[in-house]
Each structure stands twice: as C-alpha cells, then as structure tokens.
A and B are shown apart, each in its own frame.
Chain A
Amino acid sequence: MSASDKNRRREFLAASATVATVATGLAGVGLVALAPGVQLIQPAAAHDHGASSKVRWGLLVDTTRCASGCKACVSACNAENAIEPGSGRPAQNSQWIRKIELVEQSSGRAVSLPMMCQHCEQPPCVDVCPTGASFRRADGIVLVDRHICIGCRYCMMACPYKARSFVHEPLTRQNPEVPRGKGCVEACTFCVQRIDAGKQPACVEACKQAGHDAMLFGDLKDPASEIAKRIASTATSQVRADLRLGTGVRYQGI
C-alpha cells in the first residue's frame, strides 16, 4: 500500500468518525466512537496543551544574508545543547548544525549556509527506526526518544542531510534541559526546550545578534506568520526537494 493510499484511508477513518460522533452524540474527551467497542483516539483533542498539530514549526534560511565564515549559529547551538568535543577523535564529535560553503564552478558564485536536521514531514529516519525511537512530534519537530534508542544508527544512514550524530563517549556536563548520553543518536531538535518555553531556537537568536538576521523561525501553518508570508511571496527551496520529504527548513537564494 502506498503512502498516499494509507493517508486516504486515515482521512476516511477520521471523516467517518466525525460522522459517527455527530450521529450518536457520544463524543468523549479525546475519544471518538467509530463503531460499538471501536474507538479512535484524536491526538489533537487528547492533548489540550503541549505540541499541537495546528502548528508546523519551520525555519527559513536566507543564504544571501548568511555570512561566509560566520559560525554564530554553530557556537550558539553547541552552548545551548552542551555539545562539546570528545577526547581527541574529531570525526566522532556530535554536530547538530554545520556551516557549508557552496561554490558554483562555472560562475564562481559562493553561497554560505547552515545545514541541520530538516524536520521532514515524511522523515526517512522515522521510517527506518526499528524501535520507534525516532519520531515526529505533532508540531513537526523530529526527535529521538533516547529512552528507547538502541544506538543502531540506521537513521544516520537513512538521513539524506547527514543531520544525525552518535554519542560515542560518556557525558557529564549536560544542560539540565537537554538530556544527552552515550549510545544514542541525536540531532537538531529546533531547541525544543526553548520552543516549549515560547522562545526561538538558539541559532536563530544568535544569527540575529550577530547582525545577519539570516534565519527566520515560525509557524508554517499560520498564514499570518512572518515565515509563511515570506515563503508565499519569495522563491524558496527545499534541499533535495526531489526526495519529496517536505522539509520544515527552507532556503532562499540557492
């Protein structure tokens, strides 16, 4: 069964559930009667607060404003999430965000951009995860549940953006808000601890403070938000759009 078929089936179930609810008037809190004894849990209704599917967090990177050589976003990420180099094996260091310099061979035009987890709508890391540790929150943030991650690193191979890292060494200096530990895979969380507190991701704040203002964070589903307006009015692109992953991170000027 293809993904679209599956979605259609889900939509049908949801629609018939609504009909059933209206017909019987038996809507419980977060539970909808599909048929006698069969109920459908509605995630949006079951959780009045917390992550909501009415929101889709996204990030727009304006590469025309991103300065070559500036690593403010990278250092802010490392400081916020307490990412530190390990003991002498640089290739094994965790990396949630990195700066990339692109040069077009024929014209010599250079572009600098930050690359991190693209928070896909159809994340390959979630598809391949054998334990269900990789998951996508209702508001579109792709996370790793370290409680059930077994460190198989299949998601690292599935990710086309090389966004994930594996923690090779024991850690003791974690940010209390950002638990991290040896044996688990990790990646950019959009600073979920800050989003839940109503703040912006650390990289976005740092970019603004550095005077570049190349990163715009917001709700893609809210047509009144700055990011939705910019995406609606200017040409932006997804990296590897051919994979049709529906990335939450978009780039302008590449």
Chain B
Amino acid sequence: MKRLRCLPIAMLSLVASLAFAEVPKPVIAIENPGECVAAPDVMRRTHMDMLKHQRDKTLRFGEHGAKEGKSVSLRGCIECHASKKTGSVLGSSENFCQGCHSFVAVKLDCFECHQPRTGLVKSAGVMP
C-alpha cells in the first residue's frame, strides 16, 4: 500500500525531471580571446542585423567595413572565430557558428555561398 501511495509522486517527479531537463549548452572554444567589434551580449543579440547591414553596404556600395583595425565583415568573423583544429566555423557543435546555431535551431544560410574556412591557398586562388 505504501508503495502504491508513492507511485504518483514518483511519476510526477519523473515528468518534472523530463520537462526541466536542459539541452546541454554548446561548448564553444573561443580561439582568439579578446575584444570583438562589440560587447559579447550585443554581438549575441544583434550580429545578424550587423551582418545584414554590412553585406548591403559592401555589395551595393563597395564599402568594406573596418573598425579600429578590425575587419567588420563576415570574412573578419571567420578569420577570428574559425576553430584552430578544423580551420572552420562549421563542422561540429564545437565550432563557433554551428555550435550556437544548432543549439538554438536557427538555420545558417551564410555558408551556402560564403567560404567557412580560413587558409586560402594563394597560388591557386581557391580553397584546398
């Protein structure tokens, strides 16, 4: 009888633990610690707007962004944030762009066209 009385409580706690079980946060290695073009909380919330704003300025008006010696461009993001292991911002959930984007389930379209890797082969003009 005692066991039966405990059952609903056990089931409740099981349901609660399932409901509040968190998806593990992405583990992202920041390979080049230091200052980004803006504070981290600003970057987290507005990087997509900044990228969209800059892409139009760059493509339509030929203005390549620069701020305090840093390249304000998708290229600049990749150069700084690419994993040193894979040389890319994509590849696994440890990589900078893919890590967060798979965590928040937001489709990442940039790299359908843009090169996610660093290390251009200068002689060939293309990526290896």
Interface residues of A (CB under 8 A from B): 47, 49-51, 79-82, 84, 135, 137-139, 143, 145-147, 170-177, 179-184, 192, 196
Q: Across the interface, do B115 and A50 meet the contact criterion of CB distance under 8 Å?
A: no
Given contacts A79-B125, A79-B126, A82-B127, contact A174 B62 (CB under 8 A): no
Q: Across the interface, do B62 and A196 meet the contact criterion of CB distance under 8 Å?
A: yes
Q: Across the interface, do A174 and B124 meet the contact criterion of CB distance under 8 Å?
A: no
Complex contacts, A175 vs chain B, CB 8 Å: 115, 120, 125-127
Interface residues of B (CB under 8 A from A): 55, 57, 59-64, 75, 78, 112-115, 117-118, 120, 124-128
Q: Across the interface, do B120 and A176 meet the contact criterion of CB distance under 8 Å?
A: yes
Q: Across the interface, do A82 and B61 meet the contact criterion of CB distance under 8 Å?
A: no
Given contacts A82-B127, A84-B126, A184-B113, 6 further A-B contacts (CB under 8 A): A50-B64, A51-B62, A138-B61, A173-B128, A174-B113, A174-B115
Q: Is the interface of B mostly helix, strand, loop or mixed?
A: loop
Given contacts A175-B115, A175-B120, A180-B113, contact A80 B62 (CB under 8 A): no
Smallest CB-CB separation from A186: which chain B residue? Answer: B113
Can you name 14 A-B pairs with beta carbons within 8 Å? A47-B61, A50-B61, A51-B63, A82-B125, A137-B60, A147-B55, A170-B112, A173-B128, A175-B127, A176-B75, A179-B113, A181-B112, A182-B112, A196-B62
Smallest CB-CB separation from A143: which chain B residue? Answer: B59
Given contacts A175-B115, A179-B115, contact A82 B126 (CB under 8 A): yes
B49 to chain A, nearest CB (A): 14
Q: How far is the CA of A13 from the CA of B87 in the complex (A)?
A: 52
Q: How far is the CA of A80 from the CA of B124 in the complex (A)?
A: 8
Smallest CB-CB separation from A181: which chain B residue? Answer: B113
Q: Across the interface, do A176 and B63 meet the contact criterion of CB distance under 8 Å?
A: no
